[in-house]
């Protein structure tokens, strides 16, 4: 646990989250007609569906950029970490509900585990490195 207590590494969780979420945003919205059939096995031909995936891309980009901003601007680190906890926790909760209602998806089980770990890591970081107010 000494590794996580080192203030030098407090931004690692946000950095890794930003890299992954920004990368995933381009998979969802970069060219959904090409990427999504390859990755998920369904066609995206309807303009409304393309719009939904590009909107998801925009949300993911905005959140990832906010995490980067929180890394670079210490006044926003706590807010960025809290948003990360809510984002990762929300994704993990959604996957848990889907697992209960729809069954286990081997493709997304790794995502569920990582999102849950990142949520816990964010909670730990917030408790460990929060400024005393």
Q: Which two tokens stand for residue 126?
A: 């917030």
In this prediction, residues 117-127 reach a mean pLDDT of 96
pLDDT tops 50 at residue 133:
no
Q: What end-to-end distance do the CA atoms of the chain give, in Å?
A: 25
pTM of the model: 0.88
Per-residue pLDDT of 24-37, as tens digits, reads 999 888 888 888 88
Ranges of each domain in the chain: 8-129
Q: Which of 68, 67, 118, 65 is nearest to 91 (CA)?
A: 118
Average pLDDT, the chain: 91
pLDDT tops 60 at residue 17:
yes
* CA 42/CA 23 separation, integer angstroms: 20
* CA 85/CA 38 separation, integer angstroms: 30
* CA 26/CA 32 separation, integer angstroms: 9
Residue 43: what pLDDT? 86
Per-residue pLDDT of 71-105, as tens digits, reads 999 999 999 999 999 999 999 999 999 999 999 98
Residues 104, 88 contacting (CB under 8 angstroms):
no
Per-residue pLDDT of 42-55, as tens digits, reads 888 889 999 998 99
> How many residues make up the chain in this entry?
133
């Amino acid at each position: 646990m000494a590794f996580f207590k080192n203030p030098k590494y407090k931004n690692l969780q946000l950095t890794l989250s930003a890299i992954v979420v920004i990368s995933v945003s381009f998979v969802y919205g970069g060219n959904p007609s090409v990427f999504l059939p390859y990755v998920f096995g369904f066609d995206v031909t309807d303009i409304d569906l393309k719009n939904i995936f590009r909107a998801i891309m925009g949300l993911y980009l905005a959140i990832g950029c906010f995490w980067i901003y929180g890394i670079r601007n210490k006044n926003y680190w706590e807010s960025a970490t809290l948003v990360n906890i809510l984002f990762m926790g929300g994704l993990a909760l959604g996957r848990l509900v889907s697992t209960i209602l729809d069954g286990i998806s081997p493709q997304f089980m790794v995502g569920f585990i990582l999102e849950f770990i990142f949520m816990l890591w964010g909670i730990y970081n917030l408790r460990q490195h929060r400024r005393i107010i």
